[in-house]
Structure 1
Amino acid sequence: MQKISTLNRKTLMFPLAIVLFEFCTYIANDMIQPGMIAVIREYHAGVEWVARSLTAYLIGGTLITWLLGPLSDRIGRRPVMIFGAAVFALSLLLILFSWNIETFMLWRIVQGMGLCYILAVGYAAIQEGFEEKAAVKVMAMMANVALLAPLVGPVLGAAVVSVWSWQVSFVLIAVVVVLSVIALYFHMPETMIVDKTKPASPISFKAIWTDYRTLLAEPAFVKAAACMSLFGVPLIVWIGLSPVILIKDAGMTPMEYGLCQIPVIGALVVGNVLLMKVTDRWPIARPVQWSPYFVALGLVLTAPVFVFPEHAAWFITLGMTCFAFAQGFAFAVVYRFVMTSSPQGAGVMGAAVGMVLMAGYALELELAAWLYYRYAGQGLFVMLLIFCIFFFILLPGVIKRAVLQREPTDITH
């Protein structure tokens, strides 16, 4: 298909169909987080299983990503995406049959596989289907819709567990996923151009390994992907640990916990909206060039946990609000830089990015949880500081290469 450069009601139906599915994959975590305290009580499990629910979900997000990218490069994005949405709907219902915390976590891993389809197939289709600045704006718009999940998810999840059991959350989400399957069927085009005059590349472990080995041997891609993973650390830590920080340690109710998500997620939305406003007027790299200043401010706002540990929840919330704005303002551009850092197929690159992000987030969240449970807010701050330093080191090189790749004169702007 011809790349789309103009955004209107007709051209936006395609990304909106994808983002409805994406919304469901996110809210399947955010809506259950307030109910995780009830889950561990029902299964007589320890508090450490609260963060592990997200860790299991992220692990699932890495399990089949490696296959989906090369597979969609060969047979197309559309059939793979529709199949993945249907399987995700089924997995939401299967978790209702859990009989202990271990089986609950097993189904969380299975549900997490839904993320694989978004990261390896959905985002690749957007990058293929739209021109560069249009793609950045579409990704920002998709993020705003998807961000309704962490914004309304905790509040809705808290309301559900206040009236019904945590199982009801998964049933409600499954209904919405079915709607996303219908939307994808009617509105998602095939964005990958298949040359039918040439024989299809074989789908084998050797061919897949060759694709990834070639991609991971490219320093530009590896650095950009690592930078992207580091950029997302604060927000993923917040999503995973905020129930413990706010409900267990700060003594908030589930509803108060949900309300505390509003400034963080609201800042993320504001950042995305601002990115959409400036995309047509600024050089493509400028939002990323500004992001380190907001990240540094987030560290400054979190630092008082050392002086006022009894108020750590409030300082962490303030810092995360600033981190969230930085991510909203620049993450879509960083993703575009990653996806244009190599000539490899978009499916393989999307899958590789997805695996780097999910594996990185899972390890980073486990480290953050370990540090927080032992050293409270101070341990969490030290981790954020170290990861942000690595981000500051990698980012200039990623920006420089991206600007040179597009227009050398942009370096001076």
Structure 2
Amino acid sequence: MSRWWMGRWGVRDNQEKLYSLFPFLLVFYEITNYLANDMYLPALPHLAADLSIPTHLAQQTLTAWFLGTTSLQLILGPFSDRFGRRLVLLGGGVVFIISTIICALTANIQVLLTARFFQGCAICTIGTAGYSSIHEIFDRIKAIKILAVMGSITVLAPAFGPLLGAVLLQWLNWRWIFGVLAIWAIVGVSLLWLFMPESNPKEKRQAFDGRVLLKNYVAILCNTKFMLNTLIFCATFLGAIAWIAAGPFLVITEFKYSTLAFGIFQALIFGNLILGAQVVKHTIDRRGPDRLINIGLIIVLCSGVLALLLTIIFPHFLFGLIISLMMFMFGSSLAFGPATRIAIEACKEPMGARMAIFSTLMGLFGVIGGLLASFTYTGTLLWFGVLLFVISCLACLARWWVEVIKARE
């Protein structure tokens, strides 16, 4: 059916047009998955009051989502190697739509946590099938540029999702946020069904063999270059998630700002991911991946030091932490795309297996970020300043180790 539509729209005869269209359709759908977190962040205090639950349980609706993001990659990666990328990605889309509708309708926190978990499971299919297709279709520099553009669109979720959610909350309750996302996802999945190319044709697919699969996973996990570059990405990602989980309570509950003000703060912070992605797009040809990673991590480390100092000297100066987070996001954005591509290129195992490990580690660090926010949260700026400093040092340590290994080769 999808091929008939491609032929009707004149896309079937032009593979380049189809390949160029796919990343934007993927990110159009992907952004709904992230908005499922970011758009309802301003509603967390309202959700806690509506369901009569404590703050830490409301925060665990974020953690449940991240647990879902770590649950299926190791299965779905080889599954997409065997049965193709389209089946996996579209199946995940159906799961996301159903679970989002349940989130909008339920009044039970246990049901909500379960539905949030399955929302996260849908993310697994984006990494293992959607992004595998990007790496298979495009060469190194082209892929990094596309990932930068996709990243600059995807970060509209954390940048403007809270603001959009805050605006909706002026007239509607938190359930409508999930209702809007369900409709959006239906449109996105339908477009992917019509136009997504299959980057893993039948003649290239690999039979499912448990022993070979385990061997591939062990080889990837033992690949130092892959692990260190993945750690660079995951450490900075952890910082972003910790803020996403703790930010609403720091800004709204502790500092008494409105949900609309919180949305504006998020736009300022995560807007720097968009700015950084544009810098990568326009400088990757001249600077190269390694130099962009180094520049980005220098900025990340400076932001961590600044956050620590400002929260020690001015423990009630929220804007100091906001400025530090803006720097952190900009530096992280410079390193995200190049570090991801270098990590993926470091392995020769099947793409599905590589993306399965990468996505699993990414989701695991997301869970750690959510748990840190849930169980170490003190309601002070110094708490987050220390956390951001430690995370910045971890990312830079991973990069230093990469440089040591390169010098020895």
* TM-score, L = length of structure 1: 0.90
Task: Give distance in 1, aligned partners of 2:86 and 2:265.
Answer: 38
Q: Is the 8 Å Cα contact of residues 337 and 402 (structure 1) preserved in structure 2? A: no
Task: Give distance in 2, aligned partners of 1:283 and 1:403.
Answer: 18
Corresponding residue for residue 389 of structure 2: 385
Corresponding residue for residue 300 of structure 2: 295
Q: Percent identity?
A: 24
Corresponding residue for residue 3 of structure 2: none
How big is the alpha-carbon RMSD for the aligned residues of Structure 1 and Structure 2?
A: 2.2
Q: Is the 8 Å Cα contact of residues 307 and 321 (structure 2) preserved in structure 1? A: yes
Corresponding residue for residue 402 of structure 2: 398
Task: Give distance in 1, aligned partners of 2:94 and 2:406.
Answer: 37
Q: Helix, strand or coil for the counterpart of 1:373?
A: coil
- Give the C-alpha shift of residue 102 in structure 1: 2.5
Q: Helix, strand or coil for the counterpart of 1:299?
A: helix
- Give the C-alpha shift of residue 17 in structure 1: 1.2
Task: Give distance in 2, aligned partners of 1:279 and 1:18.
Answer: 23
Task: Give distance in 2, aligned partners of 1:299 and 1:342.
Answer: 31
Q: Is the 8 Å Cα contact of residues 90 and 192 (structure 2) preserved in structure 1? A: yes
Cα 1:283–1:186 change in 2 (3 A) is same
- Give the C-alpha shift of residue 280 in structure 1: 1.9
- Give the C-alpha shift of residue 186 in structure 1: 2.2
Q: Is the 8 Å Cα contact of residues 69 and 121 (structure 1) preserved in structure 2? A: yes
1:85 to 93, 111, 126: 93
Quick check: 1:160 aligned with 2:164? no
Quick check: 1:18 aligned with 2:26? yes
Task: Give distance in 1, aligned partners of 2:301 and 2:179.
Answer: 41
Deviations 1:70-110 (A, max 9, x none): 10111111221111112211111122342322221121111
Displacement over 4 Å in runs of 4+: 7-10, 399-404
Quick check: 1:308 aligned with 2:311? no
- Give the C-alpha shift of residue 402 in structure 1: 7.9
Corresponding residue for residue 254 of structure 1: 259
Quick check: 1:183 aligned with 2:187? no
Q: Aligned letter for 2:397?
A: I
Q: Is the 8 Å Cα contact of residues 341 and 402 (structure 1) preserved in structure 2? A: no
Cα 1:168–1:399 change in 2 (3 A) is farther
Gaps of 5+ in 2: 1-14
Q: Is the 8 Å Cα contact of residues 285 and 403 (structure 1) preserved in structure 2? A: no
- Give the C-alpha shift of residue 365 in structure 1: 2.9
- Give the C-alpha shift of residue 156 in structure 1: 1.5
Q: Helix, strand or coil for the counterpart of 2:261?
A: helix
Cα 1:25–1:403 change in 2 (3 A) is farther
Q: Is the 8 Å Cα contact of residues 156 and 271 (structure 2) preserved in structure 1? A: no
Task: Give distance in 2, aligned partners of 1:315 and 1:194.
Answer: 54
- Give the C-alpha shift of residue 207 in structure 1: 4.7
What is the total number of aligned residue pairs between the two structures? 394
Task: Give distance in 2, aligned partners of 1:399 and 1:118.
Answer: 31
- Give the C-alpha shift of residue 9 in structure 1: 6.0
Q: Aligned letter for 2:261?
A: E
Gaps of 5+ in 1: 1-6, 409-413
* TM-score, L = length of structure 2: 0.90
Task: Give distance in 2, aligned partners of 1:10 and 1:218.
Answer: 34
Deviates more, 1:316-325 or 1:184-193: 184-193
1:367 to 360, 372, 375: 372
Q: Aligned letter for 1:320?
A: L
Task: Give distance in 2, aligned partners of 1:202 and 1:220.
Answer: 26
Q: Is the 8 Å Cα contact of residues 60 and 113 (structure 1) preserved in structure 2? A: yes
Q: Is the 8 Å Cα contact of residues 77 and 129 (structure 2) preserved in structure 1? A: yes
Q: Helix, strand or coil for the counterpart of 2:289?
A: coil
- Give the C-alpha shift of residue 193 in structure 1: 4.5
Task: Give distance in 2, aligned partners of 1:157 and 1:293.
Answer: 33
Q: Is the 8 Å Cα contact of residues 84 and 117 (structure 1) preserved in structure 2? A: yes
- Give the C-alpha shift of residue 187 in structure 1: 2.0
